[in-house]
Structure 1
Amino acid sequence: MSRLRIGLLTNPSAAHGAAQRTGRQVAHLLRIAGISVVELTASSAAVARARAMEVRETLTALVVVGGDGTVALGAEIVAHTAVRLGVVPAGSGNDFARALGLEETDVEASVRNLLHALSRPVVTIDAIELRADVEDGLSAGAPTIAVGNVSLGFDALVNARANSSRLSPRLRYTGGVMRELASFRPFPYWIEVDGGPREEIDASLMTLCSTGIFGGGMRLVPDARVDDGLLDLAIVSGLGRGGLVRFFPRVFRGTHTDLSVFSVRQVREIRLGLREPMLLRAFADGEPRSQLPVRARVLPGAVRILADLPHAEGRA
């Protein structure tokens, strides 16, 4: 019987460089287990992606070592293929890993879980396809993939600021909130949900969720599921600066869901832009993506994941 062949992609800059050591440890443990490891790590995401695409059809699985952005890169590589995605959390926030209950500090446990999942039936999760929304027949460019959340409002501004911080994930997000509040005002959105009529909404927060966890542990949509074929559009409206200051601490505890300013609607596809000539860039899984307007849709079961979903035992 031929040995299993696993591609290993490590983000060399994740966790300020500490992920490189984790990646070497993962490779060592996989080889001890008799796995053929194909090293795909590169100095840039583009080069790593190109390497992975060259050998993708020969792989049993692709294991990524890094944070949420690295997980999204891995999902983009394996989406709609038979290649399974394994995750060893080694980034700063690790919100996707947190949503799936994956070990964040124990590399040996992470590898054991990967090997165990390889011997079990295939588990699939949804992905989010995101692309620039253009009119008049202009090219929108290639779509990108996310598996956690797409930030489309104040959270996107905070994400951009937090990415340049060297503080802990929670502190960098909290610090970003405080600094962005100084000049913040709600955004004037237009949205079209599932092909329906255009709606106008003034909102502070607009986040498209699959996991519902972001910002180093904020539980924006605690009941979100990654395998239900739907996305949760979380909206916060009617809050000023002071209200946002009080709102975000509650999100870490998940106690904000009963507030009248917070709402969630389930969607399959959405177009979204701004009614005024403003610049706002979407962030997906912590990484910058297209400027608004954008179009996003759910890709049900697009990614085969090497993990047991937290709610699996409770299914009917």
Structure 2
Amino acid sequence: MSRLRVGLLANPTAASGAAFRAGAQVAHVLRLAGISVVDVSGPTAQVARARAIDVRDTLTALVVIGGDGTVSLGADIVADSPVRLGVVASGSGNDFARALDLPVNDPESSVRVLLHALSRPVVAIDAIALSSIREDAPPTRSIALGNVSLGFDALVNQRANRGSHPGPGRYTLGVLQELRRFSPLPYWMEVDGGPREELDASLVTIANTGVFGGGMRIVPDARVDDGLLDLATLTGLGRGGLVRFFPRVYRGTHLDVPGFSVRPARRIRVGLREDRELRSYADGEPRALLPVEAEVLPGAVRILAELPDPAPLVASGPSS
């Protein structure tokens, strides 16, 4: 009998309940494989997190079933521990799974990947620690695995979360709706302890996987195991330029767009130069209001997956 013990955390609301239904299927197949399964799912993320932490020291792995927000919750639970994180992508966007070439909305194939990875050496990936640095608010810290959105992409994420349109198409709809009133935002930022920089930007994204919005590849060559984050910014584009920009992001052919740049960093502080509230989003979920600090946590999460080989850039041209 296998001594492996796996925690199962299914999001009851992801993809209109599809993730929760997939949870029962995943549990059944894992038990057939001789693995002990403990269900830590709960009616809320807070309840599920408490249940998972209560048994974490007894687990070999924690398998999360849902979308990117659920993956982020799982990463927060297992970060800097020996517990490995498994992903059964059953949400709306599933961008983390896309970035790692994991099955999407296919529980049976996902379980095969998990079982194979459990028999293989440990694979560790980086995470993002996102902290509030507001002087008028208590400090907060959360973990993300994919990306942190701090500009137009954050506003679109907010609108998409409020909408009723199902699937990744809600992000595209959010882009079109937000464009009606958007104008570039005045930022300040400090990169790796360097001097404060000022820029007016439409897009500010801190990337680990480089994939968001249901398949947009904002940083096509991002790596989750290089000990670095990628700071992607877009300046000098108005509404019309943004309309033409985002379709190219899906194809990863936007790297030569004037005003778009990517640079590696380990720690980034970002805020606004005016008295306006803007909430950051990470892995599709609302996080702290700006200003915030994002710092890479090298190898913080042990993932049940094999990392894809580095892909060549889709488009030629400068990236910075």
TM bin, normalised by shorter chain, reads over 0.9
1:53 match: 53
Name the SS of the counterpart of 1:157 in structure 2: helix
CA gap of 1:221–1:13, structure 2 versus 1, over 3 A, is same
Does residue 1:215 correspond to 2:216, yes or no? no
1:108 match: 108
Q: TM (normalized to structure 2)?
A: 0.95
The one-letter code sitting in structure 1 at the alignment partner of 2:132 is A
Does residue 1:240 correspond to 2:233, yes or no? no
1:155-212 Cα offsets, whole Å, 9 max, x none, are 0000011112333444211111111111111010000000111000110000000000
1:165 match: 163
CA gap of 1:249–1:294, structure 2 versus 1, over 3 A, is same
Q: Write the distance in 1 (CA, Å) between the matches of 2:172 and 2:59.
A: 40
Q: Write the distance in 1 (CA, Å) between the matches of 2:311 and 2:6.
A: 28
Does residue 1:78 correspond to 2:78, yes or no? yes
Q: Write the distance in 2 (CA, Å) between the matches of 1:205 and 1:149.
A: 13
Name the SS of the counterpart of 1:71 in structure 2: helix
Q: Write the distance in 1 (CA, Å) between the matches of 2:14 and 2:167.
A: 12
1:261 match: 259
Where does structure 1 differ by over 4 angstroms across 4 or more consecutive aligned residues?
Answer: none
Q: Write the distance in 1 (CA, Å) between the matches of 2:168 and 2:184.
A: 23
Q: Write the distance in 2 (CA, Å) between the matches of 1:313 and 1:186.
A: 31
Q: How does 1:109-258 map to 2 (within 5 A)?
A: 109-135=109-135, 139-141=138-140, 143-258=141-256
2:268 match: 270
Q: Write the distance in 2 (CA, Å) between the matches of 1:168 and 1:310.
A: 29
Q: Contact 1:169/1:215 (CA < 8 Å) preserved in 2?
A: no
- Please list every run of 5 or more consecutive structure 2 residues that lacks an aligned counterpart in the other structure: 313-320
Q: TM (normalized to structure 1)?
A: 0.96
2:317 match: none
Q: Write the distance in 2 (CA, Å) between the matches of 1:19 and 1:106.
A: 10
Correspondent of 2:285 among 273, 284, 287:
287
Instruction: Percent identity, please.
Output: 69
1:65 match: 65
Q: Contact 2:220/2:252 (CA < 8 Å) preserved in 1?
A: yes
Deviation at 1:8, TM superposition (A): 0.1
- Please list every run of 5 or more consecutive structure 1 residues that lacks an aligned counterpart in the other structure: none
Q: Contact 1:228/1:300 (CA < 8 Å) preserved in 2?
A: yes
| Number of positions where the alignment pairs a residue of Structure 1 with one of Structure 2 | 312
Name the SS of the counterpart of 2:134 in structure 1: coil
